[in-house]
Structure formats: structure tokens, C-alpha cells
Amino acid sequence: MFSEESKVEIFCTKNRRKIWRTRNSEFLSQNLVSTVKNGEGFVMDWRCMSAAATGNLAFVESTMNSQNLFQILKNHF
């Protein structure tokens, strides 16, 4: 059995785009990229898998520690 916790970005805030444009055309609509402003751009999840099957996906709502991990294992394993 293999299990892990990971952080998944919702809005991909780390990706950047390059836009080629001519001089003095930076504010034309085809050269603008819309963005989403938010406070939290990610969720934490826990998942498990084995050679036989995959387990449930659980979302972590607080800081992961041994007590939270035990509770997730108790509920989803």
C-alpha cells in the first residue's frame, strides 16, 4: 500500500505565459490575459493505492499531523 499527501493548485498561479506583441500594443485585448485574485490557490489531499485497487481521495482541511493522518486512515482506509 502506498499513500501520500500533496498540495494541488487550483488556479495554476505559478504558470507564466509569453505573449509576442508589437511596440505600443500592450493594452490591446488580444495581448491581455485575465487572472483570478484569491487568497488560497490550493487544496491539500491524501490518497492511497495498491496493486489491487485505489483508495478514496480525502481532502485535508487542517495542518497534517499524526492525529489527522490516523483519522483519515480510520475513515478512508
- At residue 18 the predicted structure's pLDDT band, cuts being 50, 70 and 90, is confident
Read off the pLDDT of each residue in 65-69 and give the average, rounded to a whole number: 84
- At residue 63 the predicted structure's pLDDT band, cuts being 50, 70 and 90, is confident
- At residue 12 the predicted structure's pLDDT band, cuts being 50, 70 and 90, is low
pLDDT digits 0-9 by tens, 36-48: 666 666 788 888 8
> 58 exposed, middle or buried (CB, 10 Å; 0-12, 13-18, 19+)?
buried
Centroid of chain to Cα 29: 29
Q: Is residue 2 within a helix (H) or strand (E), and if so which, with residue range?
A: strand 2-9
